[in-house]
Structure 1
Amino acid sequence: MADRPEVRRARLWHVPRLARILWSFTRTTPWLPRVRTKGDDLKMMTRITRQGWVRLARDAKGPAAFIARDGQVIHALYVHPRARRQGLGRRLLDDAKARADRLELWTLQANREARAFYAAQGFAEAGRSDGRGNDEYLPDIRMVWLRRGDTADER
């Protein structure tokens, strides 16, 4: 794999592979409730790919990670298990940071690995919720990254 994998805009023909990346987490994580059917996930992936929200990173076997971002809001970032800990998630975030002065996301409190990853990438906790605002109804944490030396609490 290249030292800095290329990040590119996802196209509609990528949707089945992107859905499999999504499912590699949502369908195998025991504590995560299933709230959508696979058909619903495919429709959602098609819609956000058409809107231009999705960028992907590849490994030698093809699409291996994706980020879904609308402006400063990151809605999803998933890496296929075969490609974890190879820098693809970091590369997708670096690409998003190059395109925005501020990024924000919500991550589930139970997802300690994601929380640690985002903190290591410069995101700071900016709030918590009881989960009423997410599909899974699980407590979550709002995290914010700012290009400048501002703190997340100031926004």
Structure 2
Amino acid sequence: MGSDAADMAGTWLRSFRAALPTVHLAHGDGDVRDWFSSVVVPRYETWIAVAGGSVAGLLVLDGGELEQLYLDPSWWGRGLGDRLVARAKQQRPDGLGLWTFQVNGPAQRFYERHGFIAVERTDGLRNEEHEPDVRYVWRPQG
């Protein structure tokens, strides 16, 4: 596996566990690492922020979907997420959509602060974690 994919998977796993301690991971660590190396990096548009030789944050875009935005917990609250969401908007100036879990209040506040609007809430039966989620969209002003 490429080092970027391995580092991205490690950051994703640390962030997921710290931000969502009550959400059951649908896949084991090895499967997550394989998913990053065989699916995420080769198929999607990926951006990473590197600090001290490791991945501090990652952004994954799939068409008009902001698929993943995760920061190493040591980088929370330091402006890196703001920079990554700005990059996503720059790359997708016509708009973006995303899903986040309803239990993730900090993520919801983050996206709302960046102009995303909640448009749908579900019972979670359509996601692998079976966790209620919320759909957000961002459309440029104009």
TM-score relative to the length of structure 1: 0.83
Counterpart CA distance in 2 for 1:99 and 1:27 is: 28
Q: 2:57 aligns to what SS in structure 1?
A: strand
What is the RMSD computed on CA atoms of the aligned residues? 1.6
Q: 1:27 aligns to what SS in structure 2?
A: helix
Deviation at 1:13, TM superposition (A): 2.2
Alignment of 1:1-150 (within 5 A): 12-28=2-18, 29-46=20-37, 47-100=39-92, 101-149=94-142
Counterpart CA distance in 1 for 2:9 and 2:91 is: 25
Counterpart CA distance in 1 for 2:123 and 2:141 is: 30
Counterpart code for 2:25: R
Q: 1:34 aligns to what SS in structure 2?
A: coil
Segments of 4+ moved more than 4 angstroms: none
Counterpart CA distance in 1 for 2:117 and 2:41 is: 28
Q: 1:12 to 1:51 in 2, by over 3 A?
A: farther
Q: Once the two structures are aligned, what percentage of the paired residues are identical?
A: 30
Q: 1:77 aligns to what SS in structure 2?
A: strand
Unmatched 5+ residue regions in structure 1?
1-10, 150-155
**Alignment deviations for residues 76-122 of structure 1 (CA, whole Å, 9 cap, x no partner):** 11000111111111111111101111100001000000000000011
Cα contact 1:12–1:49 (8 A) shared by 2: no
Counterpart CA distance in 1 for 2:3 and 2:44 is: 13
Say how many residue pairs are matched: 139
Unmatched 5+ residue regions in structure 2?
none
Deviation at 1:71, TM superposition (A): 1.2
Q: 1:39 to 1:112 in 2, by over 3 A?
A: same
Higher helix share: 2
Q: 2:10 aligns to what SS in structure 1?
A: helix
Deviation at 1:30, TM superposition (A): 2.4
TM-score relative to the length of structure 2: 0.90
Counterpart CA distance in 1 for 2:97 and 2:44 is: 18
